[in-house]
Structure 1
Amino acid sequence: MATKEKTGGNAFVETVKTIVYALLIAGVFRTLFFQPFWIPSGSMKETLLIGDFLFVNKMAYGYSYASCPSLILPRFGIDIDAKDVCGVFDADNTRLFGGDPERGDVVVFRHPVSGRDYIKRLIGMPGDTVQLKDGKVYLNGELAPQEPAGEFAEVMERQGPEGRYPRCTNGPVGEGAQCLKTRYVETLPGGVSHTVLDIGTQASDNTGVYTVPEGHYFFMGDNRDNSADSRLAQQAQGVGFVPYENLIGRADRIMFSSAGRSMLFFWTWRGDRFFKAVR
């Protein structure tokens, strides 16, 4: 009887050790190499769609306090922030093995105020001036040209876990109808081209001149009229200028994409987005 108890006890200990080792390996992998990221909103359409699941390359820009993983599960009362783990390394705006991001990169970064992870496109580099006129970007006084590229179409229906409806140029439209947005190809200095979407004229289409401080970056969403980004520094959800140390990594490739309310609904996965490069 004692032998059975001992054997059972050893099996339990080995199981616990296996789980702990697996969690440690996963934690190291997530901290040093690649962080999974689930796209919850439409601010980066059409480059990134709601429900895209991608891995963020954390080696691209080196490491800072923001590289430490956060674990936020409001349903279970869990809110472990990167600062709770690595806050001792905060506030010096430097990185270990630091690499410089390039204009046009799609970057995951830590929001300077809320601490939540955001994903946007890098538009303004340190020392740049950025201004929008009629929805077009002027960098250091020069226009980043936009060429018409037809329309982006999607179904008017609730999207993703938040269940929000898209905004449309041809709206309002009924449930199940085609929701359209005007599409352009924008080319940034250096030659990086990407699609941007336009819904209509709004306040953020015309801004003052922003001067990006040294050690900071200016980000915008590709879905320009539906993005809380560096243009909205004075608003509650605005991002403002993002410090170098708040960069988490570069989005390189989509692993898979779910058009449903959960990424576990495999029957809603989009067949054309497996291993799709992010550009």
Structure 2
Amino acid sequence: MSTLTAVLYGALVVYLGGWFLGQWTGNFSLLLFLLSAVTLCYWLAERFHFRPARQAAAAELERQDAARREDLARQGIAKVDGDVGAAKEKILEQPWWLDWTAGLFPVIVVIFLLRSFMFEPFKIPSGSMIPTLLVGDLILVNKYHYGIRLPVINKKIIANHDPERGDVVVFRYPIDPRVDYIKRVVGVPGDEIRYVNQKLYVNGQPAPVTPLGDFYNEDRLRYSPMFSEKLGAVEHRILVDPNRPAFYGPEPKSFPMHENCQYSAEGVTCKVPPGHYFMMGDNRDDSQDSRFWGFVPDENIVGKAFFVWMNLGDLGRIGSFH
């Protein structure tokens, strides 16, 4: 068993090393599930086989020692050297391969359950949500706000709230579901979303905006005009770069139900299909979002982002956000 455990740990190191070096995309939910399953097997084996076997061996050692002492006593020898206490402790001691598997099971399974059904931490990797979220922000995502989903396969089994306009949502990137994205919901099923000449329209009505002056973008080392925008009941800040064309970047990729969108030199107009959402970054001119790769299906939703719990470069960032 020690050899098998060493092989399993070796495979884990190779997997994590390749993930860290970018050789492949890791799946942390799947990894936690597999670790929970493997350590559960070790925990059950320890609980019902290995520990009882060690206890039986220790009891046998005590029985043999008691029998030896009794036999010597019958021969008139009252004082007997030797103490089996140390040997008994050695027998009962848990070997390393059980300590590092069965011993970790309770911790791993608690983390797996909390992360799968309650809250999950994420790190903001890009500037697409500036000024709401900055690169390096460590955020918490509420996993149950939109319903209870089975881990790994992300299958919803209990419905709760539906995503609403203005929510900041983590979801699986439709082009590559192994990758998590974070954007703001601007369109729900049935909405007509227009983004033309750097202005957002929802069902024909412009989203109310108020100028807030300039925002210094540390990523770009320049100032950008900042506005307060209101989507539904949510008021948040956005950046718009007047020096960027209304529609920029590569040609939109072909995506499911792309016929629901019409593109022009001024921007894009999309009709959000049932069971899907239209997402945009708050850094409007520096965000790859639904304008480029299409709608986000409900089954890709991971949870609602709501709190910055750490930013190592700026502790003042800690707190809730809209």
User: Shorter-normalised TM-score: what interval?
Assistant: 0.7 to 0.9
Task: Give CA-to-partner distance per residue, 1:84-111, whole Å, 9 cap, x none.
Answer: xx27x4xxxx552332111100000111
TM-score where L is the length of structure 1: 0.72
Pick one of 59, 74, 88 that aligns with 1:3: 88
Give the Å deviation of 1:2: 4.5
Match in the other structure for 1:151:
214
**Could you say what secondary structure the match of 1:42 adopts?**
coil
When residues 138 and 154 of structure 1 are mapped into structure 2, their CA distance, relative to the original with a 3 A threshold, is: closer
Counterpart of 2:130? 45
Partner of 1:30: 115
Q: Is the 8 A contact 1:186 1:193 kept in 2?
A: yes
Deviations 1:69-95 (A, max 9, x none): xxxxxxxxxxxxx3xxx27x4xxxx55
Q: Judge which range, 14-23 or 106-115, deviates more.
A: 14-23
Alignment of 1:240-255 (within 5 A): 240-255=294-309
Q: Is the 1:106–1:278 contact (alpha carbons within 8 Å) kept by the matching residues of 2?
A: no
What whole-Å deviation, never above 9, does each CA across 1:163-215 have from its counterpart, x for those lacking one? xxx33xxxxxxxxxx52111111122x23211110223224373232000011
CA distance in 2: counterparts of 1:11 and 1:114, whole angstroms: 39
Alignment length (residue pairs)? 218
Matches within 5 A, 1:12-27: 13-14=98-99, 16-27=101-112
Matches within 5 A, 1:158-169: 166-167=219-220
Give TM-score, length-normalised by structure 2: 0.63
> Displacement, 1:278?
1.5
Partner of 2:291: 231
Taking the aligned partners of 1:118 and 1:109, their CA distance within structure 2 comes to 5
2:182 pairs with 1:138: no
Q: Look at both structures and tell me which one has the larger radius of gyration over its CA atoms.
A: 2
Q: Structure 1 unaligned segments of length 5 or more: list them.
A: 69-81, 156-165, 168-177, 234-239, 259-268
Contact 2:166/2:233 (8 A) holds in 1: no
Structure 2 CA distance, aligned partners of 1:18 and 1:105?
40
Establish whether residue 271 from structure 1 lines up as the match of residue 315 from structure 2.
Answer: yes
Match of 1:220 in 2: 280
The residue aligned with 1:186 is 229
Name the structure, 1 or 2, with higher relative contact order (CA <8 Å, separation 6+): 1
The equivalent residue for 1:257 is: 311
Q: CA RMSD in A?
A: 2.0
Partner of 1:107: 169
Q: Which has the higher helix share?
A: 2
One-letter code aligned to 1:111: Y
Is contact 2:197-2:246 (8 Å) kept?
no
Deviations 1:248-271 (CA, angstroms, capped at 9, x unpaired): 11011110113xxxxxxxxxx312
Q: For 1:6, give the aligned amino acid.
A: I
Distance 1:9 1:192, change over 3 A: closer
Specify the SS of the correspondent of 1:22. Answer: helix
Query: What corresponds to 2:5 in structure 1?
Result: none
How many Å separate the matches in 2 of 1:208 and 1:271?
Answer: 38
